[in-house]
Structure 1
């Protein structure tokens, strides 16, 4: 035994309990660190949720969602794709790629490869390497390289609104925890998007209601803007469309005429007439039901003929303009390709606007009919006075002058001058007869007078577009032309001629002379405009008129007038080929 103070004596403890204690302390520290880290990420999730829920502007909310998602899970790139009605991406909002790089990449994704996989099967996708997945379609030229991928759907109730896409985790790979956090954010984002959509729809509903009130007030007013122009103007203001047209079915029920148009290409469409069966409006007019399309140029009939030449059309809505008995026309709203598509709510609101406009049109028609009856009665009285008094007196004067000319055998020059004045009186009588028919036109409905009545009707339709009224005259028994197909050819000739005058001639006057001599019918349309273009861009309408004339044994001739202007002369045989 050693004595007290023996320095060689030491206390020794077993090593095993000490190691277990160190491990427990390390585990506690690690778990505490995990809890702290999880608490921090939950705080980040809460902040992200508050960020996307604190606004009612849909555009700002979508931008905040992808920015919050990128920050929440730590990724270099983030994007949000909005799914359209055609199950492709109609919007693709991104962060992490600068504008210069985006320009080099080119068009935005349409929803193929991995992006499309998430659309067709809306369940989260998490990959360490995108290139290892067989669904990956690769990247276009100038696209930055990307490795890890995480995608989750954004749902609004049972509807998949879009998807969140994140690539290149700053940690090298996305974890299961990242997926859970992003799914939670997507759920909150769906609620925020739904609230923003409801708010937008409420605002939009209010704007459509204001537009309906303005249209009804204008339709019931006797002055101011043309009601159809008001309908088109207010529709393009409210709907955010790039082109709006109002088309009405013509009296034959075989064609539609664009009565009002606003937006891109409106000038090329205004006042034009298109066969009903060549437009998608026929489907709406026949069914009376609205139509929503995401890509009208994908094939099949177009909503408006020549639309592909006017604009790169994207989403569109066609809604009917109905009265109690039939569909009288259609309102068409069009956006350019690449813009946000219309929704079912847009269709519903546009249909409500069109219904209000249709009711107002009926009221305006009833008021106009009552006013026309009063006016026509007065016109009928004036027409009788012209026929019974003015024309008879002119006949008497003409006969008297012819008699005088017959007694001037020694003065042939004077006789010729008198006969010339007699011819002028005859032309004046023909114009007065045309005026009489114009005054009585609304009261006459005999089949034989269809040609005269239709030509006068067309002249009246284009008067607001020309800025002046065409002068119309008839020579011969034109009322005897009752062949329906010939009538269509004549109407096409007059309408195409006046349309060309409006679009190209810059004229201040135009005359239409219709003459039937024997079996030969001649239409002459003369204007005082700038003359024919040396290299006209579009000759399809003129070529069509030439074909119509040749099929009827006639011809088409377009010449420049002395002193300026253009003369179109179209001839046909009333008995078919001559």
Structure 2
């Protein structure tokens, strides 16, 4: 060993740096001072510490803290650079949580921080406020003077930067810079290993989620596969809100079938036009969309437009291709959180593709089962029409006859007439059931009755039971678009509200057209008390009713539960 320091560790002015002297002292231990040995021991220990963990989060935190200790800085931070050359993450040590909360928004990569991003060369300043690139500090930020910034290279790319401030010795020396540079260089390998490990773990979780969806599809009991898709996505992606929207039969709108996370209750069962939504663009092109800020997109996501979540990073993935699109899977994080990466989008897109294939297989299996059931359904419908309804008519006529003989003054006559009314309602419900039995499940619901039944079917998995449905009046003939679409949407959203009654075990839907007045009533037995505070969905329904000279009312059912009534004028 020659005893000469590595040329790469010489200072830029050709003078022997302080670190060179420290290395010379290690070569000749007799000349080394205890502080010099201690600093080098600290460097070796720091490198060993950050290299001993495969958790990327822990590696970055240990690197930040080790850099602060080695350099004698009071404050240290690590900024991870995103693909669009901004800071996607900002870890810091030395500032307490209360001060961080007072400062508010974390740096985005401007001023001196941005200078290191644009030109990844170490910066060392005696007083950072003297540098023209300094943009100052936000309110409540602690004062900072000396500054040292060092880039972190992972393989051939700049992964991020270390930022150190307020040296305990008044200013950072060349030795401090060299020590931190050596630490950052060693950390590159540790970060690379941690990233590979993290991506492998994430890939394994997405593959397991795909297996869960496939397993659920072929299970005779358990959760709805769409719910599994949404639940597993929010667990893996670290999103604040995940929703599954499916294309409606008219192929001009999408309906939120499942939503989990912040504001999910205000999304469930809502319908949106394809023409002015981000989901529509994704379905039309068949290509996923990823953005750092959902609010900045030309076509804003529905989460931002209706105010259920202040949407920042977002991914919208197609379920199926452009020719056979079923809907979209959306992942959103709050504004200010770290953005999604291309790796995350790629893995989520793979999961969405697997989920789409699984749903197609399930559709084929369901179609086969419906074909088998069709003959039995038609037989049951004939029996109901030819026998049950005729018998109920006979019973009703007999009761009417008895009531007439009793006279109007006999209290039993009124009771008999009430029972006759009950029979009439039962007959209307049976007729609706007969219509549903005759409907060919292989064809999309074109008529209003079929669309109403399909809307109810769509909410059954979330409810956990099937509501009864009764339709009265010539709704097929008298109601055109757009009132028919509004009626179907109203049923969806009112049943979506029933989902919020956690202990509801029964519900009834009645659609009645009386002259020019259309009334939709949804009754449930949920014990949750009536609240004057309406969700965004109910507020929109109320406004829609007012535009048609009607109203939406919520009241308590005398027998327990909630009665929601939407009544409008039909043109």
Select the residue among 21, 24, 27 that pairs with 1:36. Answer: 24
Distance verdict in 2 for CA 1:179–1:198, change over 3 Å: same
Where 1:111 maps in the other structure, the secondary structure is coil
- Distance across 2 between alignment mates of 1:276 and 1:425: 43
- Distance across 2 between alignment mates of 1:511 and 1:245: 27
1:81 and 2:79 matched = yes
- Distance across 2 between alignment mates of 1:32 and 1:344: 42
1:242 and 2:230 matched = no
Q: Deviations over 1:386-413 (max 9, x none)?
A: 112222344455556667777x498985
How much has 1:351 moved relative to structure 2?
0.9
- Distance across 2 between alignment mates of 1:77 and 1:444: 66
Give 1:465's aligned residue.
462
How much has 1:367 moved relative to structure 2?
0.8
Distance verdict in 2 for CA 1:135–1:389, change over 3 Å: same
Where 1:305 maps in the other structure, the secondary structure is helix
Tell me if structure 2 keeps the 8 A contact 1:85–1:294. no
How much has 1:224 moved relative to structure 2?
1.7
In the TM superposition, 1:150-161 aligns within 5 A as 150-161=148-159
Give 1:134's aligned residue.
132
Out of 291-300 and 478-487, give the one that drifted further. Answer: 291-300
Give 1:5's aligned residue.
none
- Distance across 2 between alignment mates of 1:411 and 1:167: 95
Out of 119-128 and 44-53, give the one that drifted further. Answer: 44-53
Give 1:439's aligned residue.
437
Out of 547-556 and 384-393, give the one that drifted further. Answer: 547-556
TM-score normalised by L of structure 2: 0.82
Select the residue among 203, 206, 213 that pairs with 1:205. Answer: 203
Tell me if structure 1 keeps the 8 A contact 2:63–2:187. yes
Where 1:194 maps in the other structure, the secondary structure is helix
- Distance across 2 between alignment mates of 1:543 and 1:248: 23
Give 1:27's aligned residue.
none
RMSD: 3.7
Give 1:535's aligned residue.
532
Q: Deviations over 1:126-164 (max 9, x none)?
A: 222212111112334554443332212222344322111
Q: Deviations over 1:162-191 (max 9, x none)?
A: 111223445544455554554444333223
Where 2:326 maps in the other structure, the secondary structure is strand
How much has 1:470 moved relative to structure 2?
2.1
Distance verdict in 2 for CA 1:72–1:177, change over 3 Å: same
In the TM superposition, 1:465-484 aligns within 5 A as 465-481=462-478, 483-484=480-481
1:358 and 2:350 matched = no
Tell me if structure 1 keeps the 8 A contact 2:269–2:493. no
Out of 299-308 and 278-287, give the one that drifted further. Answer: 299-308
Where 1:253 maps in the other structure, the secondary structure is coil
Larger C-alpha radius of gyration, 1 or 2? Answer: 1
How much has 1:109 moved relative to structure 2?
3.1
- Distance across 1 between alignment mates of 2:325 and 2:442: 26
What are structure 1's unaligned runs of at least 5 residues? Answer: 1-29
1:454 and 2:465 matched = no
Give 2:494's aligned residue.
497
- Distance across 2 between alignment mates of 1:324 and 1:298: 25
Q: Deviations over 1:461-510 (max 9, x none)?
A: 22333343322212232232451212112113322332333336965543
How much has 1:194 moved relative to structure 2?
1.7
Tell me if structure 2 keeps the 8 A contact 1:86–1:294. no
Give 1:4's aligned residue.
none
Tell me if structure 2 keeps the 8 A contact 1:531–1:560. no
Give 1:523's aligned residue.
520
- Distance across 2 between alignment mates of 1:387 and 1:545: 36
Give 1:512's aligned residue.
509
How much has 1:348 moved relative to structure 2?
0.9
- Distance across 2 between alignment mates of 1:446 and 1:203: 42
In the TM superposition, 1:545-564 aligns within 5 A as 545-549=541-545, 551-552=547-548, 556=552, 561-564=557-560
Give 1:11's aligned residue.
none
Tell me if structure 2 keeps the 8 A contact 1:78–1:94. yes
